[in-house]
Amino acid sequence: MRYLSLDLLRGIAVILMIQVHFVDNLSRHDDSTACVDFISETILGTISAPLFTFVSGISYYLWLRKQDQADQSDQAITKKSILRGCFLFVAGLVFNFLLWLPEGVFNWDILTLIGSALVILAFGRRLPLSILALAGVMILLLSPPLRIVGDYAAYWYEEQSYSYDFTIRDIAFGFVANGFFPLFPWLIFPISGFIVGALVFESTSAYTGWSLLVAAAGLMAIAALGIALAPGSPHAVGRLFASGYSMYPPTTEYIAGTLGLSLAAFVLLHRFVDGRADVLGTLLPVRILQRFGMYSLTLYVLHQMMHLWPLWAYGWLSGHEATFFWRRALGTPTALGLALVCLVGCYAAASFLDQHRQLALESLMRKICG
């Protein structure tokens, strides 16, 4: 059974990713467009990845429930889970190689994160939810110290560019704490989504939704407190908490705030949308978002190809390094206009995939992994 709320959240996440990637990767950042850049990247752009990874945890829980209902053995479910995780992990590495060129293969993207999370949850899915929740708290608390140990700042530049050496240490620390989407702290989103999926879809209590909304409000309050205290906090304290709202590095306030927002968005949409999917699904904006959500993995890869490959080709044909025009090719308004063109193209691609679903990344994963 598909839940409209999840398709809508995935659709929103992919659309936000498209706009922020076009602005971030194509446009020159200067004072004349500072306000637009702030809205695009700092406000809207920082929500998409948490929402996408949080929903992946809920989706995995629903997939598990479907496997149980089909009387699949525990061993078979574990095998399929690991296969799915490995599929996404390898797809992420191939994606990095083809899109970010060989030197970016170990950037650790969202696909490698979700793939790793599925493998971890394959073994942790039978644990009590309280233990998984404790694991999430520990991930949040341990992430800042791990970044200190791994010397996070040495691998990042002011333009939010990650660079590493092809050594076991750099690759391992990138995967654990230093990359774009390392396990610490990003693993907290799929784990939290898995917990929330279990609570929402298995509970018969009318208070479950309210309790989760209170938890979401608490997380956002923690984020607000840390942001408020950040200007006056000592440096030693700021390295752990009260260091402001930042995605790179993903501060405690950022993780708590976006997790709370993702949780609240799902609970509210599940409460007010899923029960009326037959009616709401006929509305054009809902149909558009739903279609984006149904093919979110495919469109995530496709939109990167649509703007990065032409950018690299232009740099190479101009006699420069392929990445020469990265973040300097266009003005922000032009980049936003191209993002709109990409959205139209992605919707057309999703409509095509409705007729040829076997070509979608989602279908390929089901065919290979079950």
Residue 159: pLDDT band with limits 50, 70, 90? low
When the pLDDT of each residue in the chain is averaged and rounded to a whole number, the result is 93
**Digit-coded pLDDT (tens) for 282-300:** 999 999 999 999 999 999 9
Contact (Cβ atoms closer than 8 angstroms) between residue 129 and residue 199: yes
pLDDT of residue 36: 76
Predicted local confidence at residue 40, as pLDDT:
76
For 115, how many CA atoms within 13 A lie in the half-sphere containing its CB? 21
d(CA 12, CA 296): 10
* Amino acid found at 304: Q
Q: What is the mean pLDDT of residues 56-78?
A: 95
pLDDT for the residue numbered 43? 80
d(CA 148, CA 125): 30
pLDDT at 30 over 80: no
Q: Is 248 left (phi over 0), alpha (psi -120 to 50) or beta?
A: beta
pLDDT tens digits, one per residue of 173-207: 999 999 999 999 999 999 999 999 999 998 877 78
Question: For the segment 328-352, what is each residue's pLDDT rounded down to a tens digit?
Answer: 999 999 999 999 999 999 999 999 9
Does residue 158 surpass a pLDDT of 70? Answer: no
